[in-house]
Structure 1
């Protein structure tokens, strides 16, 4: 079975592990923010390709940690 091209509201909520609520998605749609969607009659569908694009646009890039050799790490002493 192939992956769906569109997700329903409930499927989008599951995709984001219930961290985005139906109300949040509704608010985002009314403000035209968040992931793109298609409305056919009363049905609201989210194209998977648009959800993937939205995920990438919200990706927070981090810098790699610079590892120093143990013998060059300076340690601070705390005097009380």
Structure 2
């Protein structure tokens, strides 16, 4: 991979670590995405997002609480 400018490499590594969430599949997918690019730029680093690295909030407790509250009335 070629980085334009060379200082972008540190930002790229930081983005991979943060956006992957420690999920190996996300890290691998992000590296595959950038391998197909001729050069990694700051704009490309900012646009990083990978589906495997996204975390979702579990809404089960909220649904259970709202169900109990609706039974109360």
Answer yes or no: same fold by TM over 0.5: no
Greater fraction of residues in helix: 2
Bigger radius of gyration among the two: 1
TM-score between the two structures when normalised by the length of structure 2: 0.35
Instruction: Determine which structure has the larger strand proportion and give its number.
Output: 1
